[in-house]
Amino acid sequence: MKTLLSTKEVAQLLDVNEKMVYQLISEKELPATKVTGKWLFPKDQVEQWIMSRTVNRQSVPGVLPDYNGLLIIAGSNDILLEKTISLFNKLYPEHVAVFGNLGSLGGLKALRRSLCHMAASHLLQENEDDYNFRFAAEELEEAPAVVNFCRREQALLVAKGNPKNIRSVADFAMSGTRIVNRQPGTGTRLLLDLEIKKAGLKPDDIDGYNKEFHRHLDVGLEILSGRADGGLAISAVAGLLGLDFVPLRTERFDLLIHKNRFFEPGIQLFLGLLHEKEFKDLADSLTGYDLSICGKMVFPQNARIG
């Protein structure tokens, strides 16, 4: 078996405190596995993770060919995005759009490696006022073009009638209350971890924290089936499944694009679709979407434009 490191040993290797190691597990996809309640880290994978973040490292050769009709989008799961991809394929049969459900951080990593044309992301920054830019700066060698896809409502989904009277993340610490979670690397998981921290709790205080699913819809289905009492997901799922929900925050959901690919035909067709009535009708048919800045270029809030 390959050498496994403890949390303390990884903290010493990275020259950080152990609390930061736990944060890196949830936010940065630090390679780890949980055995008998303790985190263990394969030494070779931790070393590879460090190398992948080396400043001025040699660029990974681009593997995405010139646009030939196949549009690849990767990153965060979203119901409206899935429906928009289907609409794109219907309206432009000479093109094919496909989606890789990798989570927001996974989308940025795929964009860095030129495995996709656009990355879909909603990673909340530490200031809780802006999204995606700090993470893009860490993952990408050059700043991407960032176009808003939508603003959407994140909520605590609960069973119809809210029988456990869940009103905040802190209520998931109640005995007999089970949560269902998204996987590490997703913006929703990052938001939940932030709310847990603000409530003065730890993940281990919450039953079901490690029960992970890759789609918002799957979170809702777990609640609908009675296998969980609640979970963090977009309110659109509650509308589709007839669940109740407690609104948590409205977030910005963006598309990140390498600037040298921005004007490729498929990308421009997809971005143009965001201004069409068919797309707006899709958003209107769902709960919790706001298109007020949809299709517009967005910039860091502290950036000076012009």
Could you tell me the domains of the chain? 4-52 (1.10.1660.10), 70-150+251-290 (3.40.190.10), 154-250 (3.40.190.10)
- Is 161 within 8 Å of 167 (Cβ atoms)? no
Helix, strand, or coil (residue 158): strand
Q: Which residues contact 85 (CB under 8 A, 6 or more apart)?
A: 73, 97, 98, 99
- Sheet hosting strand 4-5, strand order edge to edge: 4-5, 38-42, 33-35
pTM reported for the whole predicted model = 0.78
**pLDDT per residue as tens digits for the range 205-252:** 999 999 999 999 999 999 999 999 999 999 999 999 999 999 999 999
Angle 13-19-20 (CA atoms, 0-180°, nearest 5)? 55
Both ends of the chain: CA-CA distance in Å?
A: 57
Q: Are 115 and 63 in contact (CB under 8 A)?
A: yes
Rounded mean pLDDT of the chain? 90
Distance CA 304, CA 56 (A): 26
CA 206 to chain centre: 21
Rounded Cα–Cα distance for residues 3 and 170 (Å): 37
Residue 25: which of 287, 164, 212, 167 has the closest Cα?
Answer: 212
pLDDT at 58 over 70: no
**Which range is least confidently modeled, 24-28, 108-112, 125-129, 242-246?**
24-28
What per-residue confidence (pLDDT) applies to 226? 97
Position 61 pLDDT exceeds 70? no
Beta bridge partners of 15: none
Between the CA atoms of 34, 36, 37 and 42, what dihedral angle is there, to the nearest 10 degrees?
-30
Return the residue matching tokens 């949809």. 294
Q: Can you tell me the distance from the alpha carbon of 24 to that of 6, in angstroms, rounded to the nearest whole number?
A: 14
Query: Assign residue 242 a region: left if phi > 0, alpha if psi is -120 to 50, beta otherwise?
Result: left
Q: Of the candidates 265, 39, 81, 246, which has an alpha carbon nearest to the alpha carbon of residue 158? A: 246
